[in-house]
Amino acid sequence: MAYIRIESDHDWARGRVSSLPANWAGELLQQWGGKYHPMHPYRANAELREITDMLGHVHIRLDASDSEIVQKASDMAEHCLGLGSVFHSAQDLRRAMERACEAMGIEPPDRIKTTTEGAIGRMTDPLWWRRKLRVQHGRAVEKAAIRLGKVNKTRQLYVSDQTVRRRQQQNLRNAATLESTTATNENGEEFTMAELAAKGQANKAIRRAELMTRISGFEFIANKLGHAGMFMTITCPSRFHKWRTVNGWKVVENPRFDTTTDPREAAKYLGKVWSRIRAALARRGIKLYGFRVAEPQQDGTPHWHMLVFHAQQHGETIRDVVRTQALKESPNEPGAHLHRCDFKTMDTARGTAAGYIAKYIAKNIDGYGVEKDLHGHDTITSSQRVEAWASTWGIRQFQQVGGAPVGPWRELRRVAAVPNGAPDHLATAHRSVNKANQLEGRENQSVSWGHYTEAQGGVFIGRDYRVRIAMQERPDMKNKYGEPAAPVPVGVETWGIEKYRPSWVATNVGASFERAVHWFVESVRHTWTIARQWVKQTRPWEGSMGSALEEGLGLVSITVREGVANGLQYIEDAAGSCAKGLGFSPGLLQSDGQELHRPYFGLA
């Protein structure tokens, strides 16, 4: 008699994890064994099947380093280039490349929004593949790590150790690239790209200082207007949390956890809650301004801290609206009314607004001035884990609420001087963003977000702010994917009202007229020559199909007019060694009774 061997659950489980790295296979089998019961195997088996199916869509080893992801990206770009020797029409080539993307679990470029040339250019670009693979691999690994229970304050805080190591490798590679790349401007000044990056938002100290300056500016305005400050926290429902804390320290698994969710979904949930809060407040005529900080809880689930200012009489209404919207989902689950949202009225006798939020800013950037986080970890290490968490899940950590945008503020720092006769709001905004030397009989002018916001029209100006970034179209230029180049900033622009006397009015008559004047002030930008090693890629259908990849050796020079090359922005201080900007007075541009238009400047 022939016997048929029936596979045991243990054999089945080992088979499900056989293709995974040893550490992942061991973790999965250990978790499965802890939940498996011979009489009731379904729950443990179903969970193991879900996790292994999810990991099966990742076509790079789960324990791959960032270097391996970079190499895989280069291989896929070269593979797509090689398809040009098989498919000789652009449409057929695009479809073949799209199949290669889908086989790797990567979404191809959008067919409606992206031209054929642009799509092919992206799918043959190692950097495009690198970004896509990093996102796919990082999120899949993190989601599996959360499911396995690796991410909590007793094991691996905020994110898995593997993700932190991979992010550190990426940062080290970026730093080495910046150090080995030099930039020379038209004045003969030479810097490494690392030196230029240190002058802008890539420098964590500068980023933190700017955020604190903006918060202090809002507080200055609130004090001036007699507004109150409120510090509030909004968290996600229980279904987003893999773990819960008991008695303030013990971590236990949350039975309400929804395995289909992840930190990115939780961030979207918080965004929707906030949009409902804003809409409800707007219907009541209530406006807020301030900042919000998104940071992870121990299991990687985001929550929001917000410091907002408002009219004194609106405090209780704001609390009611926020509480109503925050508790709209699962209002009766245990602890919802206690933990879902929290409010503290700012007491100026106990400290400033900057003091209330400073520790949240610091521990989410560089840990400056904070020794330990809430879980007792060193904040330098903690901030590195937070940075890896935000990068992996694509979560924006800091967001301004209300007020004028920060873009013109940064562009004004590139403006050396505004011309005589400029509108008062333009001159005030420029003075507010640049420190001035102390003059006889005057106090030193310091940077002031409050004065800048007032010059823009106030904290409730919305989209009608006065000073804007002037953008220049580049119709004759294309980006590296062969598509029309995006407009670039060239300075600031605004409108002012001036009085004038037309030529046909007699000089002895006191009559005068008003007209709108368009002001444009060019910002300071250098022409940089970038020297580094590079790899040149030709289009598969250009030249010989057999030589789709051409390697360039040695150093080359690239002229960059706007201070941007290969996706890296080089930010300088306008008060430093930059040359003087150009200012235009109305007399140079206006014609009687006509609106003024800024001139078109061609790129050098």
- Among 3-12, 49-58, 298-307, 584-593, the range scoring the smallest mean pLDDT is 584-593
pLDDT class of 53 with cuts at 50, 70, 90: confident
Report the pLDDT averaged over residues 589-601. 31
As for how many domains the chain has, the answer is: 3
pLDDT over 80 (residue 500): no
Which domain, by its residues, includes 48?
Answer: 9-56
Q: Is the pLDDT of residue 2 over 60?
A: no
Q: Is the pLDDT assigned to residue 585 strictly greater than 80? A: no
**Of the candidate ranges 251-255, 413-417, 525-529, the one whose mean pLDDT is the lowest:** 525-529
Whole-number pLDDT of residue 435: 66
Residue 517 shares a structural domain with residue 374: no
Shared domain for 364 and 319, answered yes or no, is yes
The pLDDT, as a whole number, for residue 51 is: 87
Is 511 part of any domain? yes
Tell me the mean pLDDT in the region 168-192. 87
pLDDT of amino acid 506: 59
Please tell me whether residues 430 and 370 are part of one structural domain: no
Q: Are 468 and 493 in contact (CB under 8 A)?
A: yes
The more confident residue out of 78 and 55 is 78
Is the same domain home to 274 and 351?
yes
**Domain-located, residue 76:** no
What 69-74 contacts at long range (C-beta under 8 Å, 24+ apart), as own/partner pairs, is 69/130, 69/133, 69/134, 69/137, 69/166, 70/126, 70/130, 70/173, 72/129, 72/133, 73/126, 73/127, 73/129, 73/130, 73/132, 73/133, 74/126, 74/129
The answer on 397 and 292 residing in a single domain is yes
pLDDT score at 436: 55
pLDDT in tens, 268-326: 999 999 999 999 999 999 999 999 999 999 999 999 999 999 999 999 999 999 999 99
Residue 542 lies in a domain: no
Residue 300 token pair: 């990687």
Question: Does residue 110 carry a pLDDT above 90?
Answer: yes
Residue 439: exposed, middle, or buried by beta-carbon count in 10 A (0-12, 13-18, 19+)? exposed
Q: Are residue 439 and residue 570 in the same domain, yes or no?
A: yes
In angstroms, what CA-CA distances link 601 with 417, 422, 493, 494, 562? 19, 21, 14, 18, 12
**Rounded Cα–Cα distance for residues 488 and 486 (Å):** 6
397 and 425, same domain (yes or no): no
Mean pLDDT of the chain: 81
> DSSP for 148-179?
TT-BSTTSBSSS-HHHHHHHHHHHHHHHHHHH
Residue with the larger pLDDT of the pair 580 and 521: 521
Instruction: Kindly state the average pLDDT of the residues 14-42.
Output: 85
Whether 231 and 266 have beta carbons less than 8 Å apart is answered as no
Q: Whole-angstrom Cα distance, residue 354 to residue 231?
A: 11
The verdict on 379 and 450 lying in the same domain is no
Confidence of residue 547 (pLDDT cuts 50, 70, 90): very low
174 within a domain of the structure (yes/no): no
* pLDDT reported for residue 364: 80
pLDDT per residue as tens digits for the range 126-159: 999 999 999 999 999 999 899 888 899 888 999 9
Nearest partner of 433 among 459, 454, 458, 451, judged by Cα: 451
Does residue 71 sit within a domain?
Answer: no
- Considering only residues 598 and 215, tell me which one the structure prediction assigns the higher pLDDT: 215
CB 392 within 8 A of CB 264: no
Q: Would you list the DSSP string of 430-498?
A: HHHHS-----TTSPPP---HHHHHHHHT-TT-GGG-S-EEEEE--TT-B-TTSSBPPPEEEEEEEEEEE
Q: Which residues are CB-contacts of 244 (< 8 A; sequence separation ≥ 6)?
A: 238, 251, 252, 253, 254
- Let me know if residue 16 belongs to a domain: yes
Of the two residues 491 and 506, the one the predictor is more confident about is 491
Q: Is residue 501 part of a domain?
A: yes
Verify that 413 and 496 share a domain, yes or no: yes
Who wins on pLDDT, 502 or 257?
Answer: 257
Is the pLDDT reported for residue 540 higher than 80? no
Nearest-angstrom CA–CA distance, 413 and 200: 11
pLDDT mean over 527-549: 52
Q: Which residues are catalytic?
A: 356, 360
467 and 348 assigned to the same domain: no
Given 337, 370, 401, which residue is the final one in a domain?
401
- Same domain flag for 284 and 417: no
pTM recorded for the entire structure: 0.81
408-434: per-residue pLDDT in tens?
Answer: 999 999 999 999 889 999 999 999 998
User: What is the rounded average pLDDT of the residues 331-343?
Assistant: 90
Same domain, yes or no: 243 and 377: yes
Rounded Cα distance between 39 and 203, Å, is 58
